[in-house]
Structure 1
Amino acid sequence: MLELIAQGPRSSDRWRRGFPTPKDGSGLPAAVTLGRVEGTWKTDWDDRISRQHAVLAVQADGMVNVQKLPTAQNPIFFRGQEQDRFALSAGEHFVIGRTTFTLARRTAARPAAGPLEVTEHAFDREALRRQRFRDAPKRIDMLSRLPDLISGSNSDSELFVRVVGMMLQATPGATMVAIVCVDEDLEGESDQADVQVLHYDSRSTVDQAPNPSARLARSAVQRGESILHLWGGAGRREGQAGAYTASEDVDWAYCVPILAESCRGWALYVTGQLDVTGGTFLEQSLMAAPLDLQDDVKFTELVATTMGNLRQVRSLQRRQAGLRRFFAPVVMEALATRDADQVLEPREADVSVLFCDLRGFSRRSEEASDHLLDLLNRVSEALGVMTRHILDRDGVVGDFHGDAAMGFWGWPLDQVDAPGRACRAAIAISEEFLAAATGANRPMSGFRCGIGIATGRAVAGRIGTIDQVKVTAFGPVVNLASRLEGMTRPLAAEILIDEATADFVRNSVPSSLARVRRLVRVRPAGFSGAIDVCQLLPPEGPQSPLANRDLLQYESALDALILGRWDEAFAALHEVPAEDRAKDFLTATIARHGRVAPTGWDGVIDLPKG
């Protein structure tokens, strides 16, 4: 794999990036842009590089074409001459401003070196934690910048570049730093196929970059501890003053596993040379190496821990973001602090259930039979209005039934004001549909809604079969809410609520937010007993044609009807404004019986199944 190394005027002005994996099936990596803004391979330390300076594209022959962009203000120098377009080979470089860009090939893990003698030292994690840094201020400064450095990475490849670059800067004795990944499902110690180099950077020239030891990486990850390897004996050559130099210009390497589920099999690998200057013998350096390197190992362990923890948090955040499509925010809040099985376990709870059905769907579907996708988009927008207002008031969307949505409150967290939340959501939904009905160009124009709300005991939680589950509620109160929604059509009222919900509104919701009136006592088909049906209305004002005195007039007519005084009830209903469509149900019932209560009248109107 080809990589590009950028080196600016300071040692910290550096990165090494691999050309991205191809996505178009051509087998060639995608082109990349050098520059100083997001979306480019940023070199923001050099103001002589333009916001978008050059495009680099890998060719089939392994060369990289470099093309200067028209937006670039300063020249590109290649082989000592100013060039706007040229082909770059591995090992070659070009210069823009004060930054040198070198093309390199990615190294791979190497198998264990047979003839070399290896001394192994494992570091005790607790002992390292107790050990103080000898250069504490510098190390602490580096670690304080690490969270921002990692959290600012918008991809794993960017994360690797930043961490490796920082580690190389923070470890002066390191020749090379890498992030490796060990496939723990594969076995064998002589094959490097199970060790992948995710990213690395080296101080060496391109042709002399050391290769990570697969044996060391595998051992550290499998044992879950930091391990140091020191090379000595065969394979070395004697130099002046008894100093020795290992093959590949490295004498030691240590590997620190990243112990986080989100980084399974990952490790930080650091290698470098012993200090054998000033007459120091190799044997002396080998003996002192574990002590000399323990600060670097401890620092690397802290980097590994921070990297693993922050990446774990990011993994959980991504997982939660994905779950938001399936769970309401109030459920996500509960899942964040408690065990998921405990939260989702079905349990009894006092809930308020809201059913909202789309009116006008059947007629619109017939009219739009040739434009069904457009109709689907309009229905989706209408359902989105329902669900948005349910979720905005900390409700749970329990289910969709064709062109209807069901939401409920009171689970997974107890909500003593669940009826009030349901009613506020219902009024907001109704008002948005009403506003859309006056706009011919709005996607929801032509649609109205019917809403039923009931409050009572239900079982809520994860409900379903072994093959499929969903989070919802079930019980008589759910059936009642559904029946109330079904009654909105014959009773000509948009929002109907049961008596339990109405009591809460009367006692706990200011009339400036919502009003309630008793509408009728009915015995729905399939119900053995009577239920009191109430209507939820917006506050007195422009949104409602009925004044408070009109509601009192209607309720006095209802009382007379229940007591069997139908003539009196009929007269009282005529005092209610004609804009009140809900009164038409009682007026028609009385007129159908000649204004005389039927024999055996018990104050309850039998409602046929609609």
Structure 2
Amino acid sequence: MAELFARDTLSSQRWRRRLVPNQPFIIGRTTLSFPVLWDKQISSKHAQLTWNGSQLEVSQFSEAINPVFFESKPQTSFLVNPGQHFVIGHTEFLVENTEPTLPQPHRSPKTEVTIHPSEIRKASFRKTPGRIELLTEMVSKMTSCNDHEQLVTITLQQLLAGIAHSNDVVLLEQRTRKNNVSYVPIAWDSRDGYSTPGGSSQSLIEHATQSEMCVLHVWPNDPLPHGDDFTRVAGHDWAMCIPLKFQLNSAGALYLSGQRAELEGNLTEVEILQDDIKFAELVGSTFANLSRNLALERRQSQLNQFFTPGLLEGVSTDLESYLSPREADLIVLFCDLRGFSAATEEHFDQLIPYLQQTSETLSIITSAILAQQGVIGDFHGDAVMGFWGWPHDTLQRPLGAIHTAQKIVRALAGDDFLCSDSPPYAGIGIAAGRAVAGMIGSRDQVKVTAFGPPVNLASRIEGLTKPLGVPLLLDENATKRLQQDPTMPPDSFVRLGNYRLAGLRKATQIYTIKSSEITWLSNYDNALVHFESGRWTEAKQQLENVPSQFGPRTALLAVMAQYKGECPDVWDGVIERRTK
């Protein structure tokens, strides 16, 4: 595992960050994840860096004022191997390819102290000089963090500053694989600022995390004869473990170790270390609380992309359970923009204007969904999926889906869209049925989506809008749901035909909604009945009174032409669609 270690050569300020392969990042004074606030010679955005898996690629921005020194020479672009460093101002950046040793089994300690966190908080410091000032400074620094990595860095540094005889501090995270629980180092720091911590005590960590107690182990500091019952870990004669729950669902621990301090006054070594436990627990609990707050803020920011403001108000603190995937009766809307892919290919030199135009159009779609209490389910390039029925039972007011569709259609195609000489700018498919909806993701990324038959059907129905030239189509289930609303006029929907869509075995009755009173729609209704019953001569006669621009008319004539105007002996009235 590779890390970038930054340290100020004029002070003790420093941080280390894990490097993710092929993920570019920026170092500077104002960057969130890799800030170098202490050095005024570093620009707000000084250089872009990328770890390619074996080397760190560094490229200085042209607007950065001061040079980047690598191998004692100013360079604007270069590669850094693990073990090498570069310098900007008075800050040194070192690339390391190291990882602390995983916890190891060991024999019992000479002394063990186990204290419940609530008891620690009740106790007073036996030696207070310097501790109160450090805690005050810690709260100020930690509460100003808006990035989890920065919070971790400050936490580890404050622990080393507050426990002067500690050498190493490691943040561990619980990992479960095939029912085996282990604790893996995810961040660390050391007294000298660059050494990698050695091994840690597996039994100490297990004891602390399983009992949810703060545990201290002390080993003899004299040389041990071979076969002694006590074994020190990584050359240290004491270690403590503070169990934590940080981020949203992460269980872990803080592990500190070092060489014991000299006795002062009447204090015993255990009393001194108990003071250290209290300090470590205060720092650890503050870190855990702030870490969860940052994660909740990040999660809320992510959820705001999917939910309308106020939809999550009043939710209990167990947001994860409330938004967890579950079955629900959904109305799904799938909307796809027309012509964007072809336009970008034809005008590849104007991608930015086309991207901006697409972004503005997608904003119209998402705003319409959110305005009707819908949930943004997913983005597929220039297409958007929204749904109703989760997390609240919004199907008690199903007109939200149709109002959304009408707003989108009016914005992109105008009021009279059933019979247009120009193709619609967007296609909308709506389907209803039982599906699974919920929030999936990690602590760093979240996605709200739905899975199931109505999702696939809505996508297929949207694909049908293009050959039919009708921008809004619905399946029979959605139409029935919408007709149950007392405010919906009974003659609002027009049946366009029975289609077996590509990839689906069951045929689907396809409907659209009337945009206005249209006299020739009765002719199409009659033609469709004749067509499905096999009376094609009568169907053609009725279609003569339907405008040629009406796409469903063309679809019926195309099927009849395929059979040269003669209805086949085996006919179920279903129109087959072979392509999406």
TM-score, structure 2 as length reference: 0.54
Pick closer, same or farther for the CA change 1:113–1:277 going to 2, 3 Å.
farther
Q: Distance in 2 between matches of 1:220 and 1:172?
A: 23
AA of the residue aligned to 2:404 = A
Secondary structure of the corresponding residue to residue 232 of structure 1: coil
Q: Map 1:327-346 onto structure 2 (within 5 A).
A: 340=322
Q: Distance in 1 between matches of 2:520 and 2:207?
A: 83
Q: Map 1:45-194 onto structure 2 (within 5 A).
A: 45-51=38-44, 73-74=65-66, 83-84=73-74, 96-101=88-93, 106=98, 108-109=100-101, 118-131=110-123, 134=128, 135-136=131-132, 138-140=134-136, 142-143=138-139, 145-149=141-145, 151-153=146-148, 160-181=152-173, 183=175
Shift of 1:584: 4.5
Hey, what does 1:203 align to over in structure 2?
191
Hey, what does 1:235 align to over in structure 2?
223
Secondary structure of the corresponding residue to residue 288 of structure 1: helix
- Which residue of 413, 423, 440 corresponds with 1:446? 423
Pick closer, same or farther for the CA change 1:431–1:268 going to 2, 3 Å.
same
Hey, what does 1:35 align to over in structure 2?
28
Hey, what does 1:4 align to over in structure 2?
5
- The answer (yes or no) to whether the contact 1:419–1:504 under 8 Å persists in 2 is no
Q: Distance in 2 between matches of 1:198 and 1:453?
A: 46
- Which residue of 291, 296, 315 corresponds with 2:279? 296
1:224 aligns with 2:212: yes
Q: Distance in 1 between matches of 2:298 and 2:136?
A: 26
Pick closer, same or farther for the CA change 1:449–1:581 going to 2, 3 Å.
farther
Secondary structure of the corresponding residue to residue 42 of structure 1: coil
- The answer (yes or no) to whether the contact 2:168–2:191 under 8 Å persists in 1 is yes
After superposition, what is the alpha-carbon deviation per residue over 1:558-586, rounded to whole angstroms, capped at 9, x for unaligned?
xxxxxxxxxxxxxxxxxxxxxx8623457
Q: Distance in 1 between matches of 2:365 and 2:193?
A: 63
AA of the residue aligned to 2:91 = T
Q: Distance in 1 between matches of 2:262 and 2:387?
A: 74
Q: Map 1:522-533 onto structure 2 (within 5 A).
A: none
Pick closer, same or farther for the CA change 1:291–1:449 going to 2, 3 Å.
closer
Secondary structure of the corresponding residue to residue 160 of structure 2: helix
Shift of 1:98: 3.8
Pick closer, same or farther for the CA change 1:290–1:346 going to 2, 3 Å.
same
1:582 aligns with 2:542: no
1:253 aligns with 2:239: yes
After superposition, what is the alpha-carbon deviation per residue over 1:77-115, rounded to whole angstroms, capped at 9, x for unaligned?
789xx6326998988877643435566664523776979
Shift of 1:295: 2.7
Pick closer, same or farther for the CA change 1:471–1:8 going to 2, 3 Å.
farther
1:267 aligns with 2:253: yes
Shift of 1:311: 6.3
Shift of 1:221: 3.2
- The answer (yes or no) to whether the contact 2:170–2:188 under 8 Å persists in 1 is yes
Q: Distance in 1 between matches of 2:368 and 2:259?
A: 64
Q: Distance in 2 between matches of 1:406 and 1:68?
A: 41
Pick closer, same or farther for the CA change 1:318–1:119 going to 2, 3 Å.
farther
With 225-234 and 62-71 compared, the bigger mean Cα shift is at 62-71
Secondary structure of the corresponding residue to residue 292 of structure 1: helix
Q: Distance in 1 between matches of 2:79 and 2:366?
A: 56
Q: Map 1:382-531 onto structure 2 (within 5 A).
A: 389-395=368-374, 413=392, 418=397, 421=400, 424-435=403-414, 445-447=422-424, 470=452, 504=487
After superposition, what is the alpha-carbon deviation per residue over 1:18-58, rounded to whole angstroms, capped at 9, x for unaligned?
5x2444xxxxxx89765334278432211122345568898
Q: Distance in 2 between matches of 1:112 and 1:213?
A: 6
Hey, what does 1:548 align to over in structure 2?
none
With 122-131 and 265-274 compared, the bigger mean Cα shift is at 265-274
Q: Distance in 1 between matches of 2:117 and 2:133?
A: 21
- The answer (yes or no) to whether the contact 1:117–1:233 under 8 Å persists in 2 is no
Q: Distance in 1 between matches of 2:184 and 2:249?
A: 13
What percentage of residue pairs aligned between the two structures are identical?
22
AA of the residue aligned to 1:142 = M
- The answer (yes or no) to whether the contact 2:5–2:17 under 8 Å persists in 1 is yes
Secondary structure of the corresponding residue to residue 258 of structure 1: strand
Hey, what does 2:14 align to over in structure 1?
14
Secondary structure of the corresponding residue to residue 245 of structure 2: coil
- The answer (yes or no) to whether the contact 1:227–1:254 under 8 Å persists in 2 is yes
After superposition, what is the alpha-carbon deviation per residue over 1:191-228, rounded to whole angstroms, capped at 9, x for unaligned?
xx965432222222756x65242333344334433221
Shift of 1:121: 1.4
Secondary structure of the corresponding residue to residue 199 of structure 1: strand
- The answer (yes or no) to whether the contact 2:208–2:243 under 8 Å persists in 1 is yes
Shift of 1:306: 1.6
CA RMSD of aligned residues (A): 6.9
- The answer (yes or no) to whether the contact 1:437–1:447 under 8 Å persists in 2 is no
AA of the residue aligned to 1:36 = R
Hey, what does 1:286 align to over in structure 2?
269
AA of the residue aligned to 1:46 = D
AA of the residue aligned to 1:35 = G
Q: Highest Rg: 1 or 2?
A: 1
Q: Distance in 2 between matches of 1:38 and 1:217?
A: 35
Pick closer, same or farther for the CA change 1:394–1:53 going to 2, 3 Å.
closer
Q: Distance in 2 between matches of 1:357 and 1:7?
A: 53
Shift of 1:317: 5.1
After superposition, what is the alpha-carbon deviation per residue over 1:279-302, rounded to whole angstroms, capped at 9, x for unaligned?
x79xx6423234332331321331
Q: Distance in 2 between matches of 1:354 and 1:205?
A: 54
AA of the residue aligned to 1:16 = R
The answer to which structure has the higher helix fraction is 1
Q: Distance in 2 between matches of 1:229 and 1:181?
A: 20
